[in-house]
Structure 1
């Protein structure tokens, strides 16, 4: 098998993703550096390798899509810890739903206001307005409103990465230490990436975050209906 064939093989995308992520997970565990976020550093390393090596990005995407396919079962698997902690979440359901709804509305409104104030075009605003929702929600919302789906996906991923990296620390700095508010805040603002981050620390936080992520996506989608109508 030639080197050119290997560099353009879809399997390379899968192997490269797994190696980079595993390497940074090992580094984080080895040195206990809190600032090492495996997903963020692995993403940066992959982009750097692709730029320097000249590996075909389309070939990498095919292999990377195998990883994306696994996100479906992984997301569904969040129902297991959610079921385990359902009584605890149910006891605070009113507060959780209120927090998710308010957070989703404020996130969209603040994003639209800041971008519009900075002179951003309508398609940029519509691409970013649902950034706190998971990528499937934000991509579909952007395409319906006239935004740029690819840009919406980028905004969503970057929001999730930043929220998962800084969110828990910021909440602790604000004096918020209870599992339910932390889970609700991170799930509402940082969707699946933030949920995965919390699940590594606390199953209860991850469960609340997974629930919040799903409900925030529903709230954001419903909230965009009037905007779609008045366009």
Structure 2
């Protein structure tokens, strides 16, 4: 398995604060059967300093030289979780932002409590610049969770999306799990990732996807979404299914 979204680098955002914590996360990934990890620290997030792509590549190069990491046999790839705002375009032009593993794919993070009015125009402009934006954890955006047709509109406009494993397994609550499953059923999700931060509080949970009772009927779909992770880091075209608009069922009343 390949994980395309997590926070493993030490001291750059809300991930590990020291080296031992990072190593514990890497060992946990190994135990889960993860063979490749895209390191995606926050970039342009209001709470954290900017993490330029070149700096991430340098940090990964240093990590790959360590014997303890070599022994794990996990391949490391550079990436970013980019907060949606108007600075994206300048940072792309100046090389501060680059696609996952230098591909055409960008991980785009929305604010948790809103869907900015410029979201659609940003998605469109990024595509004109040669990139394919991937909306990360849309199920955790409060506005989209209330109306998944807002995600349908973004996907219909050319974006892709990535769901969090913890959302699917129910760790983040039954409501988020139900919303996540519904998004998959309506062909609105294209990747699954861990968004791992810490071994105990926000761990890797990819292996649990195949042990969760509520997900048994989706195992084939989950395999497909996880395989897309591999396709994406190799800059392959992701074969998507036509997104389906959600129609809320009407309950018949008694007369």
Q: Please tell me whether Structure 1 or Structure 2 has the larger radius of gyration of its CA atoms.
A: 1
TM-score by length of 1: 0.28
More helix by share: 1
TM-score by length of 2: 0.26
